């Protein structure tokens, strides 16, 4: 058996056709393994993917999360526990990798880095035409490549965009980094901790991944419960950042007003005072300031 350099973990829920599209964007290489982790989809959706794998991509490893309280965080952790590659990446079943992705990521397989950050593109499901997203994450990469400063590197390390990052597996394991098993923002602490614990990081301006936008995804759920899950995850992230980075780093990364934003956000989004009080109390319990001075 050849050495596995990269494990690509693909959580899936009721999205068979797009999952197959994702598989087709990954070249068949002996040093890549694909872990397909179904998050207890409807039987017809699960079966459709498995039948495709059996016929066209038998090298793909199949797992199923049969927990009653299933969620994407659980599925991702199943993948992490079973991955054998030197590096790991997550990929959404509804997205796809860009042409030339293997050539770009493989440049880092035998380096000393613990984390590699790539830019990403986005597209609409209607045309699937990728274009570079004007996101804070992409902007941080471009700033760092222009000016190799501690402040710009810290901004990248603090970022929590999910699928355009590659982490060394033993760094993840040694520091107990895993996804939170929640419905939304399950990768926020995973990426926040990995960025902190990585000893050496690299960045690439080449986009290797494309996020597809379409109605009905988890990212489009904006009810109060979903909002609350995301903001509680944001508070846990803020607590980790405040405990592990200097105040100067936090302010340079734009987190100086993070506490205040968290408290005001429910009011600005129309969810009322109740959640604002909840978040204020959570911040107080963790001794987190509204404003970093």
For 7-33, write each residue's pLDDT tens digit: 999 999 999 999 999 999 999 999 999
Residue positions counted in the chain: 293
- The pLDDT > 70 percentage for the chain reads 98
For 183-231, write each residue's pLDDT tens digit: 899 999 999 999 999 999 999 999 999 999 877 666 666 789 999 999 9
Q: What is the pLDDT of residue 219?
A: 64
Average pLDDT estimate for 272-289: 96
Q: Distance of CA 149 to CAs 51, 125, 238, 244, 255, Å?
A: 49, 37, 23, 19, 18
Q: What is the pLDDT of residue 216?
A: 63
Number of alpha carbons in the 13 Å side-chain half-sphere of residue 29: 18
Tokens representing residue 185 in the block: 């923002």
Query: What is the Cα–Cα distance from 98 to 132, expressed in whole angstroms?
Result: 12
For 251-262, write each residue's pLDDT tens digit: 999 999 999 999
**For residue 202, how many other CB atoms are within 10 A of its CB?**
17
Q: What is the pLDDT of residue 218?
A: 62
Query: Residue 52 in contact with residue 26, Cβ under 8 Å?
Result: no
User: Given phi > 0 = left and psi -120 to 50 = alpha, else beta, which region is 254?
Assistant: left
Q: What is the pLDDT of residue 66?
A: 85
Q: Is 290 helix (H, G, I), strand (E, B) or coil?
A: coil
Query: What is the Cα–Cα distance from 140 to 143, expressed in whole angstroms?
Result: 5
Buried b (16+ CB within 10 A) or exposed e, 207-231: bbbbbbeeeeeeeeeeeeebbbbbb
Burial of residue 2, with CB atoms counted within 10 A of its CB: 0-12 exposed, 13-18 middle, 19 or more buried: exposed
Is pLDDT of 1 > 60?
Answer: no
Is pLDDT of 85 > 90?
Answer: yes
Burial of residue 271, with CB atoms counted within 10 A of its CB: 0-12 exposed, 13-18 middle, 19 or more buried: middle
For 96-121, write each residue's pLDDT tens digit: 999 999 999 999 999 999 999 999 99
């Amino acid at each position: 058996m050849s050495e596995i350099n990269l494990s690509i973990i693909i959580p899936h829920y009721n999205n068979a056709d797009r999952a197959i599209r994702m598989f087709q964007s990954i070249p068949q290489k002996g040093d890549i393994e694909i872990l397909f982790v179904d998050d207890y989809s409807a039987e017809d959706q699960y079966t459709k993917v498995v039948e495709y794998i059996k016929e066209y991509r038998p090298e793909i490893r199949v797992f199923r999360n049969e927990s009653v309280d299933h969620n994407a965080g659980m599925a991702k952790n199943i993948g992490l526990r079973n991955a054998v590659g030197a590096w790991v990446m997550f990929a959404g079943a509804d997205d796809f990798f860009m042409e030339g992705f293997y050539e770009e990521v493989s440049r880092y397989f035998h380096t000393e880095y613990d984390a590699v950050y790539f830019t990403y593109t986005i597209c609409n499901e209607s045309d699937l035409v990728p274009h570079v997203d004007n996101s804070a994450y992409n902007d941080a990469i471009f700033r760092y490549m222009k000016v190799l400063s501690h402040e710009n590197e810290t901004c990248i390390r603090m970022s929590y965009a999910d699928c355009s990052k590659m982490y060394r597996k033993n760094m993840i394991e040694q520091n107990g980094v895993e996804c939170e098993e929640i419905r939304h923002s399950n990768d926020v602490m995973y990426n926040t901790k990995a960025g902190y614990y990585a000893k050496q990081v690299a960045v690439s301006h080449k986009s290797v991944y494309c996020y597809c936008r379409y109605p009905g995804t988890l990212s489009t759920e904006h009810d109060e419960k979903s909002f609350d899950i995301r903001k509680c995850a944001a508070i846990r992230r803020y607590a980790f950042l405040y405990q592990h980075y200097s105040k100067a780093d936090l302010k340079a990364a734009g987190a100086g007003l993070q506490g205040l934003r968290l408290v005001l956000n429910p009011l600005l989004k129309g969810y009322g005072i109740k959640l604002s009080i909840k978040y204020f109390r959570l911040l107080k319990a963790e001794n987190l300031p509204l404003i970093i001075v």
